[in-house]
Homo-oligomer: A and B are copies of this chain.
Amino acid sequence: MITDEIKVLAFDTFGTVTDWFTGISGIVGGTVPGVDAGDFARQWRARYAPILARVESGELPWRGLDDLQTETLHDTATHFGITIADDDAARLVRAWREIPGWPDAAAGLARLRTRFTVCALSNGSVALLTTMAKRNGFGWDFIGGSDLWHHYKPAREVYCGIAELMEVRPDQVMMVATHQSDLDAARGFGLRTAFIERPLEWGGAVKDDSGSPHNDFHASDLNDLAAQLIPHTTSLR
């Protein structure tokens, strides 16, 4: 059975285990006057993947995520025709450490951890992810942050790096994410994939949660994933 071959579950964090929209729009609402907080949060988040891609392409040198998020925050403010003071910017960037987990996340991870090694595998830094975990009760076995490799997903170094650190083959690792692009990259490097539906990731905005038929698993949340991966316990817990 495939579940016997999988040893490690590697989780995307922003969107998959945490609800960045609620966390970031909330602090934007209290910090940035005169804008629609939800729109501002979405515009900021929309600038995330592109700037990471510029680092991975070599156009920009390696920089930590907080630094990149500061730059995209100011870009977002410009888009809205406003400016943000440095101390407010620092608070807003810091807020990505404090975004809430989805209601099922901590319990689902705890259940999955009884059978698998559960790791964060995120473009956040180790320190960011450690704070996020402590605030939300996420019991990671290991935290794979982008500063371990100085690379951002979808870079090979990240996906293969977690397999190497866990001393398993890539096909013994399953990437778990609500972003098909993350899973497609992971599969390209030999990992298994599980899609998690997070229809509210972007607040009320449309999100495609259909997932690719190439994924090994498709789950409505982490409890559903646990039920599929550890079926014997489904009826017991």
Tell me the A residues contacting B by CB distance below 8 Å: 117, 125-127, 130, 133-134, 139, 141-143, 145, 147-148, 165-168
The answer on a CB contact under 8 Å between B143 and A130 is no
CB contact under 8 A between A141 and B130, given known A125-B167, A167-B125: yes
The answer on a CB contact under 8 Å between B117 and A134 is yes
**Contact residue among B134, B142, B145 (Cβ-Cβ distance under 8 Å from A126):** B142
The answer on a CB contact under 8 Å between B130 and A147 is no
The residue in A117, A141, A148 that gathers the most chain B C-beta atoms within 10 A of its C-beta is A141
Contacts of A134 in B (CB 8 A): 117, 141
The answer on a CB contact under 8 Å between A165 and B127 is yes
Contacts of A125 in B (CB 8 A): 165, 167
Residue of B nearest to A125 (CB): B167
Q: How many copies does the complex hold?
A: 2
A150 to chain B, nearest CB (A): 12
Q: How far is the CA of A143 from the CA of B165 in the complex (A)?
A: 11
The answer on a CB contact under 8 Å between B141 and A142 is no
Residue of B nearest to A131 (CB): B117
CB contact under 8 A between A165 and B147, given known A117-B130, A134-B117: yes
The answer on a CB contact under 8 Å between B142 and A130 is yes
Q: 6 closest Cβ contacts across the A-B interface?
A: A127-B167, A126-B165, A130-B141, A127-B166, A142-B143, A130-B142
